[in-house]
Amino acid sequence: MKKRFHFEPVEGKALDIIRVLIKDEAVVSCRKAFMALRLAIEELVTNVTLYAYPSGGGGYLDVEIEKDAACIVLRFIDGGIPFNPLERKLPDTTVPLKDRKEGGLGILFVIKKMDEMEYAYINQENVLTIKKKLTSED
């Protein structure tokens, strides 16, 4: 079963959007994977609300959630400027904390914890798909 959410406008709405998505039944039902999914949702939604629409105008974000016994798939679709988060330079986690710059840790964790991530720019939309395999503990 696939569910689709439509959020518009997104400007300044990150917390509201995150709250809706992390309460979705399919997401909540992933017990072991829940924190990784919640982190992915917070990270990707925040990115869209902060950076996708630099010239304002509200913007939109659609999120599709599909779950079966084997995995959960989330797809984030926005009409903002083309941005592939998978090409972002990741932080060097061996650098001592006192010399660390902020940023990039969220997306690093998402990349490590998701089983698949795919980005495409189609019909003027960013489409980012993440997939997490589920186990008997979920």
Partner 1 sequence: METKVYKMGDSFDSSNSEEIKDEIMALLEEGDANLIIDLSDCTYVSSAGLRVFLMTYKAAETKGVKTCLSGLNYDIKELMSVSGFDNFFVFYDTVEDAKEAIG
Q: Which of 48, 60, 40, 68 is nearest to 133 (CA)?
A: 68
Stretch 91-130: interaction string toward partner 1, x if CB under 8 A: --xxxxxx-x-xx-xxxxx--xx-----------------
Residue 43: its H or E element = helix 34-47
C-alpha torsion angle, residues 117, 119, 122, 124 (rounded to 10): 130
At which residue do the structure tokens 């904390």 appear? 97
Give the separation between CA 130 and CA 108, rounded to whole angstroms.
13
Minimum Å distance from CB 98 to partner 1? Answer: 5
Minimum Å distance from CB 41 to partner 1? Answer: 10
Nearer to partner 1, 82 or 103 (CB): 103
| Coil, helix or strand at residue 106 | helix
Number of residues that bind partner 1 (CB under 8 A): 26
CB 17 within 8 A of CB 74: no
Stretch 27-66: interaction string toward partner 1, x if CB under 8 A: --------xx-xx--xx--x--------------------
Minimum Å distance from CB 101 to partner 1? Answer: 9
At which residue do the structure tokens 């400027």 appear? 81
Contact residues for partner 1, defined by CB under 8 A? 14-15, 18, 35-36, 38-39, 42-43, 46, 93-98, 100, 102-103, 105-109, 112-113
